[in-house]
Structure 1
């Protein structure tokens, strides 16, 4: 549903991808606690967490808002995380990825899926990525 909404917003503004301003929180067809906004920067660090939903903060056990992805990532190895963001920026297109991640408050991992949606002020260059995290069943490793 979120992907469909993103496509409709892009079409409504007549661009390849919508901007952050085009994605109104009250209209998003998902739980906002599961949404992250990641700034795309020039130079190093390349990515910074602008907003991290409360469900994501709870799963991580810390709030990375305002910090570089390179130093405050969670779940997949850093190289994988950066490759996912780099792919979204290069392709200027949504990306869906599924993988298990550890949850610090459990001796377990969760099946985890992320939807990465590029956002752009000018409709050409990706300057922000909206990420929707969907945690489903717990995998018990005890």
Structure 2
């Protein structure tokens, strides 16, 4: 996987630090308890052939309802190599300083930050079990730090990814 690089300034002053982007099955030993809970819930919903669950199947589960405010879902837009934010939990929007629902990754990011974010989504849909990005991101409110971001593919058609489920694990400084 890719990862180690320079610090990138994102929208609103977010600082995206050097990162390790690791397949989930290798990353769980290093991940937070909350990240592991979400991954385990997603993994339990996978089909017999290891097919990612659909968004509807994910929505039907309640194993991690207490973490829903920190989740977001993007829709894959293959024709433009982009991802549109379909829903963003309250805490996920709060940590960003805005709610990107309805916007695409390309609407929000540019330059190095765009390449960094697209790479995370691209790696998540290329790997059947998703990835964890262990970059340390300083949030614009300067009170929180994002330690890891979980990216999990979802599939409406049972064949290829159609959505990406994202969880950001934050701590207060």
Give me the TM-score of the superposition, normalised by structure 1: 0.83
Is contact 1:25–1:32 with CA below 8 Å preserved after alignment?
A: no
Structure 1 window deviating more from structure 2 (33-42 vs 96-105): it is 96-105
1:9 match? 45
Gaps of 5+ in 1: none
Q: Pick from 116, 119, 143: which aligns with 1:83? A: 119
Cα gap change, 1:137 to 1:109, in 2 (>3 Å): closer
> What is the deviation of 1:91?
2.1
* Secondary structure of 1:63 counterpart: coil
2:138 match? 102
How many equivalent pairs are there? 135
Tell me, yes or no, if structure 1 residue 131 matches structure 2 residue 171. no
Tell me, yes or no, if structure 1 residue 24 matches structure 2 residue 59. yes
Give 4+ residue runs of structure 1 displaced > 2 Å after superposition. Answer: none
Superposition map of 1:4-83 within 5 A: 4-11=40-47, 15-24=50-59, 27-29=62-64, 30-44=66-80, 46-73=82-109, 77-83=113-119
- Structure 1, residues 83-125: CA drift from partner, whole Å, max 9, x if none? 110111222322111222232222x651421111100012221
- Structure 1, residues 115-141: CA drift from partner, whole Å, max 9, x if none? 111000122211000001110242xxx
* Secondary structure of 2:94 counterpart: helix
* Secondary structure of 1:2 counterpart: helix
C-alpha RMSD of the superposition: 2.2
Distance (Å, rounded) in 2 between the aligned partners of 1:37 and 1:99: 20
> What is the deviation of 1:2?
1.2
Gaps of 5+ in 2: 1-36
* Secondary structure of 1:43 counterpart: helix
